[in-house]
Every structure is written in structure tokens, then in C-alpha cells.
Amino acid sequence: MRILIDIGHPAHVHFYKNLIHDLVKKGHTLQVTARNKEVTLALLTAYGFEFFNRGDLKKSMLGKALGILSVDYFLYHIARQFKPDLLLGVHNPYIAHIGALIRKPSIIFTDTERVGIASWLTFPFASIIWTPACFKDKIDPTKHVTFNGYKELAYLHPNNFRPDPGALGRAGIVKGEKFIIIRFISWGASHDVNLHGISEEGIDHFIQTLERYGKILISSERPLQGDLEKYRLMIKPEDLHSLLYYADLYIGEGGTMATEAAILGTPAIHIESTTGGVASGSFSGNYLELKYKYDLLDFYPDEKKALEKAITILTNPHAKEDWLRKRDLLIADKIDVTAWMVDFIEKYPKCKSQE
């Protein structure tokens, strides 16, 4: 089978990397295209994948709108040359459009609810839409296929991930030193419209408070103001998940990273709200399940209550071992998502339901 995968975000590299390796081993031919966003291209290079660079992230809404046409045009020509039998993408309108244009099936993954226009531009053109079983939005049942897991379990399931203790030294962490990973996002994605995170006026107090309890490492999509640059995490992108595994706390605006931390057994706190002041985690099936079923993740609309929770965790000497025990329960409940995807793709279209 010939498979075209388009990647728009660093997290998508992780989502697909084991799938690509496994499918190639099984004799399939794959072509990867990718957007130049953050460390996406660096990750693809680090993992040894060949790819076509389809350009930079468009920041304005007008740029995004025009970008749909230009990316569709680019991918259409790639598809005409490559002649795929199947196309894959994460909430990816371009892949869905091109699949419809060349009359080949497309499989779209999503785990993000209430994103409006991104779904309207994608779902009608897709052949199959994969989501976690806990996904809350309604999707055309003739296309909707669920699985008992999260996208992060495609690369963080114990079958596919072992933390590298060498990452600690490379990040400047001394053995036994407590450390906290903080994430700031750019708020430039279409699904970030009308959402807010840590307030600009509250950032300094936020950092200073957390610094009392451990070393601060900041992962940021946006420029850091003033003295905050000294906290920036300077590592190889492929070391990040090992650091998340060993961290004493993850806290910040990055939704994927919050889920990654929780799945790795690290206390995780997500900070994001709607314009009405409601925590966006209240609308996410993943977050609701991780919070109320597994007690691995908390979410808040602003940094004030999040800090209170963070201090409670950081002053609990047994927090890390407690989270690792809860993480083991989650892993026992969930599937190896990469193995599930490989099986689905190889059987498609004969099997269109969860097994």
C-alpha cells in the first residue's frame, strides 16, 4: 500500500513515527509532507524520515484561509506524483480535501472538541475519522471509529517508550534535583481562537512561586520576556518526553504536553479558559477522563487556582510515586495505539470498526 501522511505539528511526528516504522517494515511505501512549525522538521530529521517541507505556519486568520488553497495545491501535486492508496492526517483539512479530489480514502485523527471551522473544513471530506472513545463531539457515525486510548499512547505506551536518564544531564539537571516543566503556547492555531492561558501580568509571580519548590524549565512557542529567557529549555527535541517522565510537575498551557505528562506518571496541570472564564478542559473527553477516572491531570481557567494545586502536589513527598501507581492503572486499561492503527490500516476497508 502507498500511504501519504501530512504532518502539521511536532506532536504529529510523535503520533505517526512508530506507525511509519512499522508500516515500512511490513513492506508499505510512505511519503511524508510537513509544515515548518517549531521543531517539526528537526524531529523528522532526527528520526531519519525523508519529507517534503510544505512551508511555514501562517499566523493571521487571512493567512490561514489563503494557506488552505496553497497547501491544497502543493499536496495535490505531491499526490499526483506519489499516487497514494490512503492519506493520513491529524485534524487535517488538506489531506481530507486531496483524498476527495483524487478519489482515495483519507483517515483523519482528532481528539479536540469544539473547534468549529477546522472540523467543518475537514470532516465532510474525510473517509474515516478516528477519535479516542472518550471523545465528546458528535461525528457522522458512518465515518466515526473510536479506540480505547489517547493519541499520546501511540508513542508513550511502554511498548514504544523507555525514558532515557541521560536526558537529565543534557538538560542541566543534577541527580535528585526537583524540577518543574512549564509550557507556554503561541495561541496561533485555529482551535486557540477565543482561548486564554496564563495572564501576562501574572507570569512573574507564577514563576517565582514555583521556583521555591524546584528548578524551572520553560518550553515555549512564543518569545519569553525579560528574565524568563534564562529558564528556556534547551535540549534535543527527542529528549523532551524523558524529561517529562522524570519531572516532579508539569504545568502550563500546552494541552498535548499535559496529557503526555499524565500518561508518563507526572502530575499535570493544564491552564486554559474560554472568554467566559470556563476551563477548556471541561469540554475535553481526554481531560475529563484523565481527571475524574484516573486522577492524573487537573485543569483550571487561570494560574491562581492552578498554583494552589501545584503547591499541594510539590509539598507532597509521595506525589511522584502516587502518580506512577495511577499511571500503571491507566496503562492496564488502555491499548497500544500504534499497534491498533497498523492493524486497522492493513485491514482497511474490510474492517471499519473498533476491534
Q: Give the domain CATH number at 262.
A: 3.40.50.2000
328 & 260 share domain: yes
* Cell numbers linked to 146: 473510536
Q: What is the pLDDT of residue 119?
A: 93
Residue 166: CB atoms within 10 A of its CB come to 10
Find all residues with CB under 8 Å of 276, minimum gap 6, and list them: none
70 & 194 share domain: no
Find out whether 302 and 274 touch, Cβ atoms under 8 Å: no
105 & 186 share domain: no
The pairing of beta strand 106-109 with beta strand 86-90: parallel
147 & 268 share domain: no
122 & 55 share domain: yes
Going from the C-alpha of 247 to that of each of 14, 153, 233, 268, the distances in angstroms are 20, 19, 13, 10
- For residue 231, give its domain range: 166-333
The answer to whether residue 141 is domain-embedded is yes
256 & 145 share domain: no
The answer to whether residue 61 is domain-embedded is yes
Q: What is the pLDDT of residue 200?
A: 82
Q: What is the pLDDT of residue 63?
A: 65
Q: What is the pLDDT of residue 275?
A: 80
240 & 282 share domain: yes
According to DSSP H, which parts of 122-274 are helical? 166-170, 203-211, 240-246, 255-263
The answer to whether residue 22 is domain-embedded is yes
pTM of the model: 0.92
Domains held by the chain: number: 2
The answer to whether residue 353 is domain-embedded is no
The answer to whether residue 105 is domain-embedded is yes
Report whether the peptide linkage leading into residue 10 is cis, meaning its omega lies within 30 degrees of zero. Answer: no
153 & 180 share domain: no
Q: What is the pLDDT of residue 78?
A: 98
* Cell numbers linked to 54: 510544505
Q: What is the pLDDT of residue 61?
A: 57
* Cell numbers linked to 259: 496529557
Q: What is the pLDDT of residue 57?
A: 67
The answer to whether residue 188 is domain-embedded is yes
243 & 143 share domain: no
* CA–CA distance, 243 with 239 (Å, rounded to integer): 7
The answer to whether residue 352 is domain-embedded is no
Sign of CA dihedral 116, 73, 6, 98: positive
Find all residues with CB under 8 Å of 196, minimum gap 6, and list them: 187, 272, 273, 274, 275
Going from the C-alpha of 182 to that of each of 179, 215, 253, 277, the distances in angstroms are 10, 11, 8, 21
44 & 184 share domain: no
Find out whether 43 and 12 touch, Cβ atoms under 8 Å: no
123 & 17 share domain: yes
Helix 61-82 crosses helix 93-102 at what angle (to 10 degrees)?
40
Q: What is the pLDDT of residue 246?
A: 98
The answer to whether residue 355 is domain-embedded is no
* Cell numbers linked to 18: 512508530
Tell me the average confidence (pLDDT) per consecutive run of 10 residues in the chain, 355 residues long: 96 97 98 94 95 82 74 97 98 97 98 90 97 97 97 98 97 95 74 68 91 96 85 93 98 93 98 89 96 98 94 98 98 98 94 53
Sign of CA dihedral 46, 49, 51, 56: negative
* Cell numbers linked to 166: 541521560
**Degrees to nearest 5, angle at CA 317 with 314 and 322:** 90
Q: What is the pLDDT of residue 251?
A: 97
Distance of CA 205 to the CA centre of its chain: 28
Q: Report the candidate in 346, 253, 229, 236 with the shortest Cα–Cα distance to residue 302.
A: 253
- Greatest distance between any 2 Cα atoms in the chain: 58
328 & 339 share domain: no
